[in-house]
Structure 1
């Protein structure tokens, strides 16, 4: 276990003028409040904040960050409060510790929702102060190092999956590759232990031969550089295990086919010498053109800079080589942490902040997403961008997810530009809005004031921002239409009941009605009438007096109810909680009683019934889905389509028709197709009572001579 003196020594070595007092006080306070707590490993709990602080010291962070690392768990796991932390250590430390704290006490419906809220809070705090995520990464790194002390394999895999989904990508986006690699390899070890052991064994095999190869190639590169008078350091390294596995999976390669298990790095002193070293390499060994990448001239969004080239090496094999300066190498290993040095003070300078504007964009993109599954998925999309770099007409570089379109680009510029986008020019030529942008494209957006987003855009846009803005606009428009329709329906229903709608909407009675339905405003109530989730008659009933309801069975109200009940029985389906809604059946899947069903509210057409397994049901807007159930008293029959595959013979159709009729099903339609192999596909549309009736008919058909297969099909 690391000691506090070791941490203080590291900080002092990095910066002799650092304020060590705040670290010392944070250690004493953390030791006091965590006293008596023990980790699963059996070690005192204090070992964890000490290890986290040690990782932060290795990252050369400032004393405030290291103090926050020592205190990062005290709000969650002890009696300490944010106010106490702020009083003792100042608002800066308190803000960071609060941002790191998980929302273990959040009231949510599921673990998924709690995780979403915890990550959302972390992202918000991270946008304020990047040190929040640096501490969170150090915290997760030490937790992964001690994950083996968890007894349940399921728990280990769950934590490892979250690490691969969220924390390793965050480390990558922040450019802290050493943390990314360790998180990925440790998660890989617990997620797929057999595969991890296999790859580890393959890498270890012939290790002595590989070490000799590294020494030989490194020596050859070094000799060429010295011959040209170019000072440099040459390193050889192994690709990490998770990276090898991902390459094998993504490119369908065997281990032996992964050529860059060993890669080399040349570190020199200036940018110009990087390009000089590249020229020397390409003169020594033949380069593979498509494998060259210039991240010095065009840095990655996380500030990573390097020249990447792949050459045909001394033994005819492919060799991957990276060329960079010492400063670039520090950034490549430490990412944003390299810019939090003592020389620049406690705050990141403005230029570095601009480089990490994606953090603010990520926060903004998630702000309007309430569904936890959708939120976590959108965070993953933001954290795993395979990026392309395009230019505005003024030469400004914009980074977008691979596969992005002009519509994604338009929304990146501004929401209004996206909403009013009617066309785009790429490199001076008009292109479709679904055109996939490529690195180097110059994109110009054409707008029109009277134009609006289209639902079709959701099928091809790639960025979270574009998707969320389009959905937001559609939702607003649907709500406006629903309010207009709902108001019209309510006014009509109130007139029939001889009630003054305009007077009642302003009354205290209406406030009570709104509360009874569980809404916050009249607008929400009326919109739900327009959606079809509440009927106007339900609203009217709230204003009807009991005496009026009990007057006579011949009243208008009871006539309406009787009419509805008859309609409901005819329909064969009831909508839970609603008596008087128009019901129709989806022609795409032809549901019959006994099928699992769901309802979809269609404006102006009531509720459409689908089978739960129907393709259309699976793509429904969840906000328009409604619970429905079969009406057991219904005597209706329902159309259903079946396919019969058989061998052709005389009298086949007659035998089929006879068996169907004997089992009480009516034939509504029949169509047969004879194939070249003398088999027949016959399609019958039958009227049946329910799924049991259908099974009985299908069983009878299977007994007919030369029938090969019988199944129910969608239309």
Structure 2
């Protein structure tokens, strides 16, 4: 078991000026709260946080990270609280420990291949500090090193599968290949012990021959480099067992034919030397076409740089050679952890969530400085700024856009679930339907049979699916109402001309009329009459001789002229439609002179709004109908105004007198006195139009101590 003194020595070796007091205190606290707890291996539980801290020290992390590593599971496994950690070790340590605890509690019920990518994204999205992920990787690495002590074979396989599907790829994305390789190898050992043992035995069997072979090839390489005065370090290494196994499967090869079980690495001082060494290797042995990769000129997104080439070696066999600088080698081994000594760069890649180029951009400014904490303290992960990952109650992961609500989630599950959604629970508690979901939450939808979507949902849903399904439902409802209204209008209009609408609707003549208007079905034509886009009279004119229509209209107009005058509402003409109920929107109170528009409302005729009315803008444009003021009418209309003035005796009397002088009636009035000695007086006046209203407003502005007069609505 590693000791705290070993960890402190490593930290001081990497960062001689660092204050290790926080690590010491974290060790003492962890030892105290874990006292008496044991691992499955029979060792004291404290061995686990010590090993995790040791791995972090190997990665050359700062003292904050290592202290957090020593404390990473105290909140989950002991009586210690986050508040206690924050008080004793500061906000940064508490924030990291809290992040690791949060990740540990995620209910991953399945790590199927299709879900593994979502889980990886979720882990990275939830860890807003990169150190959370690094501690989680170190924690998993030590757990895999002691996995054999689990008694349940099923449990071992489950943990190994999760490690292979989720944690090893994350280590690869961060460029920490030694952790990736070890996680893959140890997972392989538990998931497929027979294949693991077979490859191990085969590698061991020829080990002596292979070691001799490695030394021979290294001599050839050294000799060629020395001849050209290139000083280099040359290593020969076995590929790890999982990598060999994958190659055997993907290329359907027996073990004997996997050519690059041994790979050679040439490490030099500068980039020009790397390209020179590449040329020398190609002059020494024939390169294989299409087996050359230049990751120096085009680095991988996780900062990995190297030249890769495959050549035909001295005995006719294939050899893989990697050529890189010492700095590239350090980065290749530690990934992003190799850059703890660099200033933070800016994440500028717009497609950061897809390409992971954030890692490269993070170290854009590669100027070494003494304090490694400066870089770490501000490194935050925001890999998926536009996505949230939530769980279903069964543990499945669903990806949604940022700002998505339970209604979006419900429609993602199924259109019917969305339509019948009446409520939602997040992590077991009720939330409003417009609640914005956060990554890691468990969402449960409450449905009610027969419930329908609400138009209000369009104000907050974020997904295209939810928005289109809600609109589709509203449109269907609007169409049903419009068909009903259109049928009603047609029956009434056709009766005036002694025509039977219900009989005519099935005739061939009507089908021609439908096609003439550019529709496929009669129902669409009737719906458009309901919307107010076509009038019943336009249809009658197409199926009845013109003289009959004109005579009937003339006679009918004489009979009902008086009655229509009585019914005429407020001097508005609805274009193309006679004898229809008209009412005015209370929200905007239009008066003659205002630009207006009408909206057909089933059972209420046409509602008139000002064209600038906010409420009218939200209505379905398909229900809109053209209207205009009737210039022949001379009526009064209600309108609301507010008069803001300084408080004084007799103010209200003067305001009322000016309103009367201007020829307007006061329908209602009330006042509010403010703390700053001003008075807001609200009036509903009866005026004949916008010109009349302007005269009233100008008259009121002349009243002494009146500050402002304006129309409301």
Per the alignment, residue 483 of structure 1 pairs with 474
Per the alignment, residue 124 of structure 2 pairs with 123
Deviation per CA, 1:81-123: give whole Å up to 9, x if none. 21211111111111111111145667x7957799999867642
Residue 197, structure 1, aligned to residue 218, structure 2: no
CA distance in structure 2 between the aligned counterparts of 1:192 and 1:32, rounded to whole angstroms: 39
Per the alignment, residue 3 of structure 2 pairs with 3
Q: Helix, strand or coil for the counterpart of 2:290?
A: helix
CA distance in structure 2 between the aligned counterparts of 1:67 and 1:33, rounded to whole angstroms: 15
Per the alignment, residue 671 of structure 1 pairs with none
Alpha-carbon contact 1:82-1:98 (below 8 Å) kept: yes
Alpha-carbon contact 1:233-1:268 (below 8 Å) kept: yes
Instruction: Summarize the alignment of residues 498-647 of structure 1 with structure 2, pairs less than 5 Å apart.
Output: none
Instruction: Quickly say closer, same or farther: Cα 1:193–1:489, change in 2 above 3 A.
Output: farther
| CA displacement at 1:367 relative to structure 2 | 1.4
Deviation per CA, 1:131-180: give whole Å up to 9, x if none. 11111110000000000010010000000000011100001111111100
Unaligned runs of 5+ in 2: 349-356, 364-379, 401-461, 487-713
Q: Helix, strand or coil for the counterpart of 2:252?
A: coil
Q: Report the RMSD for the aligned CA atoms in angstroms.
A: 3.3
| CA displacement at 1:474 relative to structure 2 | 3.7
Instruction: Quickly say closer, same or farther: Cα 1:281–1:156, change in 2 above 3 A.
Output: same
Per the alignment, residue 634 of structure 1 pairs with none
Per the alignment, residue 388 of structure 2 pairs with 367
CA distance in structure 2 between the aligned counterparts of 1:74 and 1:118, rounded to whole angstroms: 24
CA distance in structure 1 between the aligned counterparts of 2:108 and 2:15, rounded to whole angstroms: 48
Q: How many residues align?
A: 400
TM-score by length of 2: 0.52
CA distance in structure 1 between the aligned counterparts of 2:482 and 2:389, rounded to whole angstroms: 33
| CA displacement at 1:47 relative to structure 2 | 0.6
Instruction: Summarize the alignment of residues 132-147 of structure 1 with structure 2, pairs less than 5 Å apart.
Output: 132-147=132-147
Per the alignment, residue 243 of structure 1 pairs with 243
Instruction: Summarize the alignment of residues 390-539 of structure 1 with structure 2, pairs less than 5 Å apart.
Output: 472-486=463-477
| CA displacement at 1:184 relative to structure 2 | 0.3
Residue 331, structure 1, aligned to residue 322, structure 2: no
Rg comparison, structure with higher value: 2
| CA displacement at 1:472 relative to structure 2 | 3.6
Instruction: Quickly say closer, same or farther: Cα 1:287–1:487, change in 2 above 3 A.
Output: same
Per the alignment, residue 154 of structure 1 pairs with 154
Alpha-carbon contact 1:69-1:135 (below 8 Å) kept: yes
Per the alignment, residue 277 of structure 2 pairs with 277
Per the alignment, residue 302 of structure 2 pairs with 302
Instruction: Quickly say closer, same or farther: Cα 1:361–1:250, change in 2 above 3 A.
Output: farther
CA distance in structure 2 between the aligned counterparts of 1:79 and 1:119, rounded to whole angstroms: 30
CA distance in structure 2 between the aligned counterparts of 1:258 and 1:111, rounded to whole angstroms: 33
CA distance in structure 1 between the aligned counterparts of 2:280 and 2:118, rounded to whole angstroms: 52
Deviation per CA, 1:346-369: give whole Å up to 9, x if none. x67769955268996753464166
Residue 355, structure 1, aligned to residue 331, structure 2: no
| CA displacement at 1:486 relative to structure 2 | 4.7
Per the alignment, residue 52 of structure 2 pairs with 52
Instruction: Quickly say closer, same or farther: Cα 1:375–1:17, change in 2 above 3 A.
Output: farther
Per the alignment, residue 711 of structure 1 pairs with none
| CA displacement at 1:200 relative to structure 2 | 0.6
| CA displacement at 1:282 relative to structure 2 | 0.6
CA distance in structure 2 between the aligned counterparts of 1:103 and 1:273, rounded to whole angstroms: 44
Instruction: Quickly say closer, same or farther: Cα 1:57–1:349, change in 2 above 3 A.
Output: farther
CA distance in structure 2 between the aligned counterparts of 1:375 and 1:355, rounded to whole angstroms: 32
Instruction: Quickly say closer, same or farther: Cα 1:112–1:198, change in 2 above 3 A.
Output: closer
Deviation per CA, 1:257-297: give whole Å up to 9, x if none. 11000110000000010000001111111111200000000
TM-score by length of 1: 0.52
Q: Helix, strand or coil for the counterpart of 1:229?
A: coil
CA distance in structure 2 between the aligned counterparts of 1:197 and 1:44, rounded to whole angstroms: 31
| CA displacement at 1:484 relative to structure 2 | 2.9
| CA displacement at 1:195 relative to structure 2 | 0.7
Q: Helix, strand or coil for the counterpart of 1:316?
A: coil
Q: Helix, strand or coil for the counterpart of 1:290?
A: coil
CA distance in structure 2 between the aligned counterparts of 1:377 and 1:208, rounded to whole angstroms: 52
Instruction: Quickly say closer, same or farther: Cα 1:199–1:366, change in 2 above 3 A.
Output: farther
Per the alignment, residue 181 of structure 2 pairs with 181
| CA displacement at 1:206 relative to structure 2 | 1.4
CA distance in structure 1 between the aligned counterparts of 2:110 and 2:185, rounded to whole angstroms: 25
Alpha-carbon contact 1:116-1:375 (below 8 Å) kept: no
CA distance in structure 2 between the aligned counterparts of 1:289 and 1:478, rounded to whole angstroms: 54
Deviation per CA, 1:184-207: give whole Å up to 9, x if none. 000000000011000111111111
Alpha-carbon contact 1:99-1:121 (below 8 Å) kept: no
CA distance in structure 2 between the aligned counterparts of 1:494 and 1:75, rounded to whole angstroms: 65
